[in-house]
């Protein structure tokens, strides 16, 4: 049985202020860097065989914390980037609601947003392709860690599992530096073994953007 760990990056100042990041390249803050170190100390016990990351710095620097424990080189895949949020990027969610009320309503209700925002279908297909490529790096029975982003993780996993959007919306957003553990074998295919696992389970959940 092979294992894929889908790991969200650590906290950023934009996470902390509920500002939409999307594909803007925002760095980890001091809290996020410590979260990455603490989470890496747990993930190293899973003995990963490979680490693949989004090329955005907040994900790449999170991956680097685990690489420092394992000695593994980090591979980078743009398909693991966060959802592209177009004109929303750089705005707080309060500003989005004020400037784009119709789009904000559709977003809060799990619908396609429209405008310049990447569709959920495109996001799911893109990220799941990246996750499958990462998983293929594992030897039989091995473990791969894929470092990505909140919205990207949820939609990519949902596409991989062939879940409808209604079912996917029942999952809470991943907390910063938390992960999903997926397993795969011939008989069962992909299954969720654990969700939202990490060292800071009592912290509030920043929006997955």
The string of pLDDT tens digits covering residues 52-66 is 999 999 999 999 999
Q: Give the range among 40-49, 131-140, 191-200 with minimum mean pLDDT.
A: 191-200
Looking at the DSSP bridge assignments, the partners of residue 143 are 3
pLDDT higher than threshold 60 for residue 206:
no
CB-facing half-sphere around the CA of 191: CA atoms within 13 A = 10
Residue-level pLDDT at 200: 64
The string of pLDDT tens digits covering residues 35-51 is 999 999 999 999 999 99
Active site residue 82: yes
**Binding-site residues:** 8-15, 58
With CA atoms as reference, report the closest residue to 54 among 88, 77, 86: 77
Q: pTM (2 decimals)? A: 0.93
The string of pLDDT tens digits covering residues 70-128 is 999 999 999 999 999 999 999 999 999 999 999 999 999 989 999 999 999 999 999 99
Question: For all residues of the chain together, what is the average pLDDT?
Answer: 94
CB-based contact 124:156 (threshold 8 Å) = yes
Residue-level pLDDT at 186: 87
Domains of the chain, each with CATH number or no CATH: 2-197 (3.40.50.1240)
Q: Which of 57, 69, 82, 178 is catalytic?
A: 82
**Binding-site residues for substrate:** 8-15, 58
CB-based contact 52:136 (threshold 8 Å) = no
When pLDDT is cut at 50, 70 and 90, the band that residue 203 belongs to is: very low
pLDDT higher than threshold 60 for residue 202:
no
């Amino acid at each position: 049985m092979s294992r894929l760990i889908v790991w969200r990056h650590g906290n950023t100042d934009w996470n902390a202020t509920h500002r939409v990041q999307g594909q803007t390249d925002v760095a980890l803050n001091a809290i996020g860097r410590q979260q990455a170190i603490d989470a890496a100390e747990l993930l190293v016990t899973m003995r990963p065989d490979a680490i693949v990351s989004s090329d955005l710095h907040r994900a790449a620097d999170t991956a680097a914390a685990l690489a420092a424990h394992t000695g593994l080189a980090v591979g980078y895949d743009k398909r693991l980037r966060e959802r592209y949020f177009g004109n929303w990027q750089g705005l707080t969610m309060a500003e989005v609601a004020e400037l784009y009320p119709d789009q904000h309503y559709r977003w809060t209700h799990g619908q396609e947003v429209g405008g310049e925002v990447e569709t959920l279908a495109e996001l799911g297909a893109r990220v799941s392709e990246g996750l499958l490529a990462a998983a293929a790096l594992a030897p039989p029975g091995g473990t791969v860690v894929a470092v990505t982003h909140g919205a990207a993780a949820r939609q990519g996993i949902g596409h991989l599992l062939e879940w409808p959007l209604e079912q996917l919306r029942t999952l809470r957003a991943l907390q910063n530096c938390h992960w999903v553990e997926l397993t795969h074998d011939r008989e069962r295919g992909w299954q969720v073994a654990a969700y939202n696992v990490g060292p800071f389970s009592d912290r509030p959940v920043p929006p997955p953007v």
